[in-house]
Amino acid sequence: MHQENKNRETKKVNQNIKPLNTKRNEKGNLEISGVDLVELAKTYKTPLYVMDEVTLRQMAQDYKDAFSKYEKTRILFASKALMTKSIAKIFSNFGFGFDVVSMGEIYTLLSSGIGLSKVSFNGNNKSIEEIEYAIDNNIDHFSVDNFLELKLINDSAKKKNKVQKIHLRITPGIECHTHEYIKTGQIDSKFGFDLPKVDSALELILKEYKNLNLVGLHAHIGSQIFEKDVYSDEISVLLKEIKRLNDKFNINLNEINIGGGLGVTYVEEDNPYSVFDIADTVIKSIKDNCAKLNLEYPLLYIEPGRSLVCSSGFSLYTIGSIKTIEGIRKYVAIDGGMADNPRPSMYQAKYSAEIANNKKNAKKETLTIAGKFCESGDILIKDIELDEAKQGDILCVYDTGAYCYSMSSNYNRILKPAMVLINQGKVDTIIKRQTLEQLIENDVLLDRLK
């Protein structure tokens, strides 16, 4: 797949499995950004989420550089991938906006001193409370997903004497070769207006919903995408639809949001295009389609999530029990698993890993990395070749910056891990490890049961 990528001398960040500056130090331990991972695990305990700031900033810079050729670009970080106050502040300082899908994500931004002037509110079932909270805090625009939402936003804006900017999210009918659960652009999707229903939405906006200001269209075609032509297809659909709507309704839609979805390299066989490849494809498609359709260049929104944070993140675990089934499999259990990384259990996600301890001259063996949770399906990595493992070793699992913390849980009432940010030998906690007291703070023991 994409042989030209494999021939490049220098891979870009989203094409790397490991963070930048990963090496074995003089002790033989894994080291990233000047931090010894074995010592890091001792100090901050495991399981531990780790984000490398150097890699994170380089990926953000790659996006800025890649799309700098198209001046009318706004980059929105897809917050669902990893929303913490410090991570949000880093991206805000790069000039990025945010794609949010909940009141909690909005609150995190506001609590970080980040306003909503560069924020798009996405999602297929926004509550009245969420809509009013966003409008009260001056959200830039909503990406509207359905007819009910059109009414709810209009009613809320009218009540507050505001005119609210919106995009319409459409389903472009484009399918990517990715997992069924992370496809979003095909016709059979819970997201967006089907194309035959867009005219009905426009008629409502123009005739009845006077507190809505429709300025553009939004589409999203999936996640972990290893193709680039699908972006050309998506842009073609969006711009043709804008041309048709502008002509039919005598309006001037001039914004498009193409979502995100750029793939990253979890395992060696993954071979995504770089953000520079995708940017070239996107920009060329916009210019070609606008020339054909006699349209002005639109304001372009992109929503990278996974590709911005995944490669900079990794997780550290301590190896515990080991079980060998002769002729079948060797299980190595870690002190985490499906509660801190549910992706393998949910949709068979694959990961790369390495034992962080000095393993010079250790023999290789095929291992299955099992979690500690009370589920047979709690398998983090199946049949991976690693150095011979022993109890107490530290396992480093790469590319956990996206969707691991965001999707984590307290299953089996196990505490959520801490997260640290490393940068050239410096370590800072950006999420504290959950305590037992915090675990039960919302529990209520009824007086009549005491």
Q: Are 219 and 185 in contact (CB under 8 A)?
A: yes
| Terminal Cα-to-Cα distance of the chain (whole angstroms) | 63
pLDDT in tens, 415-426: 999 999 999 999
Instruction: Tell the residue number behind the tokens 């009432």, with chain if given.
Output: 413
Q: How many CB atoms lie within 10 A of CB 104?
A: 12
pLDDT in tens, 55-103: 999 999 999 999 999 999 999 999 999 999 999 999 999 999 999 999 9
DSSP 224: S
AA letter at 201: A
CA-nearest of 161, 163, 121 to 144 is 121
Measured in degrees and rounded to the nearest 5, phi and psi for residue 393 equal -65, 155
Of the listed ranges 103-117, 172-186, 330-344, the one predicted with least confidence: 172-186
CA-nearest of 257, 256, 260 to 304 is 260
Work out the pLDDT band at 1, boundaries 50, 70, 90: very low
Measured in degrees and rounded to the nearest 5, phi and psi for residue 314 equal -150, 165
Q: Are 13 and 58 in contact (CB under 8 A)?
A: yes
Measured in degrees and rounded to the nearest 5, phi and psi for residue 309 equal -115, -15
Predicted pLDDT of residue 172 = 87
pLDDT in tens, 13-27: 999 999 999 999 999
Predicted pLDDT of residue 180 = 42
Give the mean pLDDT of 428-441: 98
Average pLDDT value for the chain? 94
Predicted pLDDT of residue 8 = 39
| Those residues with Cβ within 8 angstroms of residue 364's Cβ, 6 or more apart along the chain or in another chain | 385, 386, 387, 388
Predicted pLDDT of residue 12 = 87
Q: Are 356 and 396 in contact (CB under 8 A)?
A: yes
How does strand 22-24 pair with strand 364-370? Answer: unpaired
Work out the pLDDT band at 106, boundaries 50, 70, 90: very high
Is the predicted pLDDT of residue 2 greater than 50, yes or no?
no
Helices (H) and strands (E) in the chain, counts: 13, 21
Predicted pLDDT of residue 88 = 98
DSSP 225: B
pLDDT in tens, 299-350: 999 999 999 999 999 999 999 999 999 999 999 999 999 999 999 999 899 9
Q: What global pTM score does this model have? A: 0.93
CA–CA dist 168, 215 (Å, integer): 9
Is the predicted pLDDT of residue 277 greater than 90, yes or no?
yes
Work out the pLDDT band at 173, boundaries 50, 70, 90: confident
Q: Are 337 and 422 in contact (CB under 8 A)?
A: no
CA–CA dist 410, 416 (Å, integer): 6
Predicted pLDDT of residue 188 = 59
Measured in degrees and rounded to the nearest 5, phi and psi for residue 396 equal -105, 120
CATH 3.20.20.10 residue spans of the chain? 54-309
Catalytically annotated residues: 374
CATH, domain 54-309, list 3.10.129.10, 3.40.50.300, 1.10.10.10, 3.20.20.10: 3.20.20.10
Which is higher by pLDDT, 384 or 184? 384
Which is higher by pLDDT, 384 or 174? 384
CA–CA dist 363, 151 (Å, integer): 64
Q: Are 244 and 198 in contact (CB under 8 A)?
A: no
CA-nearest of 100, 105, 165 to 299 is 165
Instruction: Specify the CATH number of the domain 14-51+312-439.
Output: 2.40.37.10
Cα pseudo-dihedral 156, 158, 160, 161, rounded to 10: 160
Predicted pLDDT of residue 121 = 98
CATH 2.40.37.10 residue spans of the chain? 14-51+312-439
Dihedral sign for Cα 38, 43, 47, 53, please.
negative
317 forms beta bridges with 395
Work out the pLDDT band at 182, boundaries 50, 70, 90: very low
pLDDT in tens, 145-168: 999 999 999 999 999 999 999 999
AA letter at 377: G
